[in-house]
Structure 1
Amino acid sequence: MRFLSVIFGTLLLTVMPGSAALAQSLDVNEQFVAEFEIDAVDVDAETFKASLSGEAGPYGRVYLSYDFTNKQNLDTMGEFTGFAWTQNGEEIVTGTLQGVWVKAGKVFKLYTFDAVSNGKLNFAIGEIDFVNKTARFDVSELKL
């Protein structure tokens, strides 16, 4: 048993420095919070769709639509695509949304990269709570 502990410890020390080297940091321009209410949900046998609206920092009032799928048939995670639309004064800005969702208790955590029509790229981590009809994201505008 002691022999296995020594081997495991040696392997752990060998792997850990390499793992730290793989870590990436995101270089960001601006960060903001986006909070939404779920306006509608549509479910069929293979996907579920959600429409949300709310406030998203510098973008003001934003409307989102998501298509959630589970193409790998995993129990607690899948993928999504979506679309965002906002009008701030005369300026209309749109965005394409893509990422993964993970079921975490009663909420779904979302990890998303979003290409925006104003030339920006946003990365966001958030939670959607279908029971309370809310969503909240911490959004970072990435430096390109």
Structure 2
Amino acid sequence: MRVFKFLAVLAVIAVSPLSLGQDLKLGESFVGDFTIDSVSTTDGVNYHLTASGEAGPYGRVYGNWLFTNKLGLEDMGEFTGYGWTQSGEEVVTATLQGVWKKNGKVFDLFTFDAVSNGLINVATGELDMVNKTLKFNVAPVK
């Protein structure tokens, strides 16, 4: 009986990661390549950044991000923002929300964004303040 219980517990432990894991299905990815236009702060804690650049099927995109650190962590925090683009008469907007983590001389960014065209985009990025660049690898969630 003990052997049976042991094998049952072992089977549950072995299968748990498979049944509890999340499989995020993504569409075709594209690159967002931005130049930082400005950075400002009014309190030395929260920073507002604006940038513009090319983002795959969206063309020229303008965005702003507010970087905060609500948990008071050493080298990481969160951000929110807003992006927009226009192609002909069509305007597409997005709300941006994610986390940042300092990684040496750059900041790694991870974000989920709601887009007015009905998509949810997920992206990983790198913010390089010295070189004034902000680059994302973006993919829509299916």
TM-score normalised by length of structure 2: 0.85
Task: Give the equivalent residue in structure 1 for 2:40.
Answer: 42
Distance 1:119 1:142 in 2: 11
Distance 1:64 1:16 in 2: 45
Query: SS in structure 2 opposite 1:102?
Result: strand
Q: Which 4+ runs in 1 deviate beyond 3 A? A: 14-23
- Of 59-68 and 16-25, deviating more is 16-25
Task: Give the equivalent residue in structure 1 for 2:70.
Answer: 71
Task: Give the equivalent residue in structure 1 for 2:24.
Answer: 26
How big is each residue's C-alpha offset from its partner over 1:38-91, in whole Å with a ceiling of 9 and x where there is no partner? 000002323101000000000000001000000000001100000001001211
The offset of 1:25, in angstroms, is: 2.5
Percent of counterpart pairs with the same letter?
55
Task: Give the equivalent residue in structure 2 for 1:139.
Answer: 138
Query: SS in structure 2 opposite 1:28?
Result: coil
The offset of 1:18, in angstroms, is: 4.4
Cα RMSD (Å) of the superposition?
1.7
Query: SS in structure 2 opposite 1:27?
Result: coil
Instruction: In structure 1, give the amino acid aligned to 2:27.
Output: N
Matched, 1:82 2:81: yes
TM-score normalised by length of structure 1: 0.84
Distance 2:14 2:62 in 1: 42
For residues 88-107 of structure 1, the aligned pairs below 5 Å read: 88-107=87-106
Query: SS in structure 2 opposite 1:114?
Result: strand
Distance 2:102 2:35 in 1: 19
How big is each residue's C-alpha offset from its partner over 1:14-54, in whole Å with a ceiling of 9 and x where there is no partner? 97864565442221222111100000000232310100000
